[in-house]
């Protein structure tokens, strides 16, 4: 996968795949990377709690225009769940509120329960989340000891793979849709087993097309900065959506799209989103096919 260099730190465009460390918020990690690269504009694509680590794609400059499409993609995690213990937050940072024996629990019981959580699942968002109610973050209410009713939402668990169970720790691989709370999933699994549970460790391994094997740590970024190669860590913006069909357009059609006007294109897909390239084969935006066969501009890059 090619990396892209830039000679102008005031015009940095592309994606950094950060392997976020434990103990820092997603926004804190974003600010560190933004400062290190000297970027003027940046945004991350899907928060990781401070206790979680792993893949955090960070979009720079024009790449921020496609960040919402990364937010919509599936995510994959490796999670260790502590069975038999409930906490106030659903993870190790909370206070213990309940303990239960695991003597009668066996692997067959665990695998049977896990099978119930594959597919479409209804989840109630946790109180310790960034969702807002009446303009207030739920975690702000939770820290004051206030619990409010939350509406359940449908999420989709594409894979829930058993890896290991020993001494109360259950290791799983999870592939899920956007909006999935792994802490809630852990608690729901614990409740289904009748013993309670919370997240012990959480590591994100994949976001859409990006894998954590491609990611770089902040320490490695610092080393690249010192050697003058930090901008080589930027991936092209288009790499986030390489699985989408491509439309290559004439200069006239590019002009009309950039004016916000849908255009007719030959050999185009019947529906869905597409990558847009100009006659020089340069990626310049995202389009969406309309019912009448035209492609409409959705995000144009400069």
The CA–CA distances, whole Å, from 239 to 171, 234, 236 equal 31, 11, 6
Q: Is residue 153 classed exposed, middle or buried when 0-12, 13-18 and 19+ CB atoms within 10 A define those classes?
A: middle
| 98: phi then psi, degrees, rounded to nearest 5 | -160, 140
Q: Which of 233, 247, 232, 229 is nearest to 285 (CA)?
A: 247
Residues linked to residue 56 through DSSP beta bridges, in sequence order = 18
Q: How many CB atoms lie within 10 A of CB 123?
A: 19
Residues composing the chain: 302
8 Å CB contact between 190 and 198: yes
13: Cβ–Cβ under 8 A, 6 or more apart, which residues? 6, 60, 61, 62, 63, 234, 237, 301
- Six-digit token pair at 194? 């009748």
| 95: phi then psi, degrees, rounded to nearest 5 | -80, 145
Per-residue 3-state assignment (H helix, E strand, C coil) for 95-155: CEEEECCCCCCCHHHHHHHHHCCCEEEEECCCCCCCCEECCEEHHHHHHCCCCCCCCCEEE
CA distance 120 to 154: 7
CA 16 to chain centroid, in Å, comes to 13
Catalytic, out of 19, 49, 91, 200: 49
Active site residue 49: yes
Q: Catalytic amino acids?
A: 49
């Amino acid at each position: 996968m090619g990396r892209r260099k830039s000679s102008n730190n005031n015009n940095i465009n592309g994606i950094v795949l950060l392997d976020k460390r434990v103990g820092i918020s997603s926004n804190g990690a974003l600010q560190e990377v933004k400062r290190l690269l000297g970027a003027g504009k940046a945004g991350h694509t899907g928060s990781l709690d401070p206790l979680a680590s792993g893949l955090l794609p960070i979009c720079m400059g024009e790449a921020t225009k496609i960040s919402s499409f990364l937010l919509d993609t599936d995510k994959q995690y490796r999670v260790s769940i502590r069975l038999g213990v409930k906490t106030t937050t659903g993870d190790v940072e909370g206070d213990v509120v309940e303990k239960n024996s695991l003597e009668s629990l066996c692997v067959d019981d665990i695998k049977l329960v896990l099978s119930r959580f594959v597919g479409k699942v209804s989840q109630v968002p946790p109180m310790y989340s960034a969702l807002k109610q009446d303009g207030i973050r739920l975690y702000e209410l939770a820290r004051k000891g206030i619990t409010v009713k939350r509406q359940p939402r449908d999420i989709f668990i594409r894979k829930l793979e058993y890896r290991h169970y020993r001494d109360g720790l259950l290791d799983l691989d999870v592939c899920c849709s956007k909006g999935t709370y792994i802490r809630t999933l852990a608690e729901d699994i614990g409740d289904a087993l009748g013993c309670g549970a919370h997240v012990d460790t959480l590591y994100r391994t994949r976001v859409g097309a990006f894998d954590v094997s491609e990611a770089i740590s902040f320490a490695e970024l610092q080393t690249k900065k010192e050697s003058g190669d930090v901008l080589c860590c930027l991936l092209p913006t288009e790499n986030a959506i390489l699985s989408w069909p491509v439309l290559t357009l004439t200069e006239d059609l590019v002009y009309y799209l950039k004016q916000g006007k849908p255009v007719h294109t030959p050999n185009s897909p019947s529906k869905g989103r597409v990558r847009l390239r100009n006659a020089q084969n340069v990626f310049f935006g995202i389009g969406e096919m309309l019912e009448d066969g035209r492609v409409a501009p959705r995000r144009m890059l400069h």
